[in-house]
Amino acid sequence: MTRDEETGMPEPKTRIQRQNFEAILEAALEVFSAQGFRGATIDEIAKAAGLNKPNLLYYFPSKAAMHQTLVSKQLNTWLEPLEGIDPDGEPVEEILSYLRLKLSMAQKYPRESRLFANEILQGAPGILDVIKGPLRDLVEEKAQVIATWRDAGRICVAEPRHLIFSIWATTQHYADFDVQVRGILAEKNAKTFADAERFLTDFYRRALTPA
């Protein structure tokens, strides 16, 4: 197999190789999201993928390699909504659009969200370079956009970075604490997210719109 330029991992060519590669990543995502990087084992991932350990190691030489591949492949997906905030757009609507996209991602990708949360709780051993690098740079870039809107009186916000943090917290909560949310609300997932979108949109619109 050749090497993938993005991840550095072997790039599957045959149908069986592609199937095994995707099965391993799917299993790794399931195990990592449930147990975190430190709690997961290669044996558990191999079992979940329906492969033996030597076969798995043919595709990925280590647990860290699987984790890094997942992070690398998902990084653009996670950063895209924040990157999409348009400095030339209408400030409140740009923030609300970002909020809705983050909530939609929490609904569509709950395991990815929990994987990230587990890593943070364990000190982010596999993604600290991402947090301190491209993620921090992007947050700083968009915080400056929001600060420019604020200083022009177009949006009401005290500290742009904490606005971004609050959006992460209020949207990803529905994925990271899914069991708690469902236990309290006792309703279908789709209704929960529809209600959450209405509430959060109204809440942030009121908070962000200048008096």
**H helix or E strand, kind and range, residue 10:** strand 10-11
Q: Same domain, yes or no, for 40 and 119? A: no
The CATH code of the domain that includes 143 is 1.10.357.10
Whether 1 has a pLDDT exceeding 60, the answer reads no
Judge contact between 123 and 132, C-beta under 8 A. Answer: no
pTM above 0.85, yes or no: no
The CATH code of the domain that includes 26 is 1.10.10.60
Half-sphere exposure of 96 (CA within 13 A, CB side): 20
Q: Is residue 76 part of a domain?
A: no
Higher pLDDT, 112 or 24: 24
The total domain count for the chain is 2
Kindly report, residue by residue over 32-46, the tens digit of the pLDDT.
888 888 889 999 999
Q: Same domain, yes or no, for 46 and 124? A: no
Selection from 211, 200, 209 nearest residue 91 by Cα: 209
Q: Same domain, yes or no, for 129 and 58? A: no
Confidence of residue 185 (pLDDT cuts 50, 70, 90): very high
Q: Is residue 70 part of a domain?
A: no
Residue 184 belongs to what domain range?
84-208
Q: Same domain, yes or no, for 114 and 22? A: no
What is the mean pLDDT of the segment spanning 85-105?
Answer: 97
Q: Same domain, yes or no, for 134 and 179? A: yes
Whether 3 has a pLDDT exceeding 70, the answer reads no
Q: Is residue 71 part of a domain?
A: no
Confidence of residue 6 (pLDDT cuts 50, 70, 90): very low
Q: What CA–CA distance (Å, rounded) separates 92 from 158? A: 14
Q: Same domain, yes or no, for 179 and 100? A: yes
Q: What CA–CA distance (Å, rounded) separates 204 from 68? A: 34
Higher pLDDT, 72 or 201: 201
Rounded to 5 degrees, what are φ and ψ at 8? 80, 0
Which of 112-116, 166-170, 199-203 is predicted with the least confidence, judged by mean pLDDT? 112-116
Higher pLDDT, 185 or 116: 185
Judge contact between 57 and 42, C-beta under 8 A. Answer: yes
Q: Same domain, yes or no, for 192 and 94? A: yes
